[in-house]
Structure 1
Amino acid sequence: MIGGVEAGGTKFVLAIGTSTGEIVQRHTLETTHPDDTLREATYWFETRGPIAALGIASFGPLDLDRTSPKWGHITSTPKRGWANCDIVGWFRERLGCPVGFDTDVNAAALAEWNAWRQTDSTLAYVTVGTGIGGGVVVGGQVLGGKTHPEIGHIRVARHPLDRDFAGVCPYHGDCLEGLASGPAIEARWGHRLGDVEVKNAQDMIAHYLGQMCYSLFSITAVERIVLGGGVMQTEGLIELVREHTKQIDDGYLPTGIERQIETPLLGTKSGITGALLLASLALSAAKT
Structure 2
Amino acid sequence: MTKLYGSLEAGGTKFVCAVGDENFQVVEKTQFPTTTPYETIEKTVEFFKRYEDRLAGIAIGSFGPIDIDQNSATYGYITTTPKPHWANVDLLGLIAKEFKIPFYFTTDVNSSAFGEAIVRKGVNSLVYYTIGTGIGAGAIQNGEFIGGVGHTEAGHTYVALHPQDVAKEFTGVCPFHKGCLEGLAAGPSLEARTGTRGELIEQNSDVWDVQAYYIAQAAVQATLMYRPQVIVFGGGVMGQEHMLKRVRDKFTALMNGYVPTPDVTEYIVTPAVAENGSATLGNFALAKQVSEK
Query: Any runs of at least 4 consecutive aligned residues in structure 1 with deviations exceeding 3 A, and if so which?
Result: none
Name stretches of at least 5 consecutive residues in structure 1 with no aligned partner: none
Q: Which of residues 20, 41, 59 is equivalent to 1:55?
A: 59
Q: Which of residues 162, 167, 176 is equivalent to 2:172?
A: 167
2:163 counterpart of 1:156: no
Deviation at 1:233, TM superposition (A): 0.5
| Aligned residue-pair number | 284
Q: Relative to structure 2, which stretch is displaced further, 206-215 or 269-278?
A: 269-278
Work out the CA distance in 2 between the residues paired with 1:255 and 1:10.
Answer: 35
Q: Is the CA contact 2:52–2:99 (under 8 Å) kept in the aligned structure 1?
A: no
Aligned-partner SS, 1:9: coil
Aligned residue number for residue 263 of structure 1: 270
Aligned-partner SS, 1:57: strand
2:190 counterpart of 1:185: yes
Work out the CA distance in 2 between the residues paired with 1:45 and 1:59.
Answer: 20
Work out the CA distance in 2 between the residues paired with 1:125 and 1:283.
Answer: 25
Deviation at 1:196, TM superposition (A): 1.9
Q: Which amino acid aligns with 1:173?
A: K
2:116 counterpart of 1:108: no
Q: Is the CA contact 2:6–2:287 (under 8 Å) kept in the aligned structure 1?
A: yes
Work out the CA distance in 1 between the residues paired with 2:142 and 2:64.
Answer: 24
Residues 267-282 of structure 1 mapped to structure 2, 5 A cutoff: 267=274, 268-282=276-290
Deviations along 1:224-282, one digit per CA (max 9) or x if unpaired, are 10000000011210111001110011112115452300010013101222222221121
Q: Is the CA contact 1:132–1:177 (under 8 Å) kept in the aligned structure 2?
A: yes
Q: Relative to structure 2, which stretch is displaced further, 253-262 or 233-242?
A: 253-262
Work out the CA distance in 2 between the residues paired with 1:255 and 1:15.
Answer: 36
Deviation at 1:194, TM superposition (A): 4.4
TM norm structure 1 = 0.94
Q: Which of residues 123, 129, 134 is equivalent to 1:131?
A: 134
Quote the sequence identity (%). Answer: 39
Q: Is the CA contact 1:5–1:12 (under 8 Å) kept in the aligned structure 2?
A: yes
Q: Which amino acid aligns with 1:275?
A: N
2:38 counterpart of 1:35: yes
Deviation at 1:172, TM superposition (A): 0.1
Work out the CA distance in 2 between the residues paired with 1:222 and 1:200.
Answer: 30
Q: Which amino acid aligns with 1:145?
A: G
Deviation at 1:84, TM superposition (A): 1.3
Work out the CA distance in 2 between the residues paired with 1:278 and 1:119.
Answer: 19
Q: Which amino acid aligns with 1:54?
A: I
Q: Which of residues 209, 212, 226 is equivalent to 1:206?
A: 212
Q: Which amino acid aligns with 2:38?
A: D
* Aligned Cα root-mean-square deviation (Å): 1.4
Q: Is the CA contact 1:21–1:274 (under 8 Å) kept in the aligned structure 2?
A: no
Name stretches of at least 5 consecutive residues in structure 2 with no aligned partner: none
Q: Which of residues 59, 65, 72 is equivalent to 1:68?
A: 72
Aligned-partner SS, 1:222: coil
Deviation at 1:32, TM superposition (A): 0.7
TM norm structure 2 = 0.93
Q: Is the CA contact 1:193–1:201 (under 8 Å) kept in the aligned structure 2?
A: no
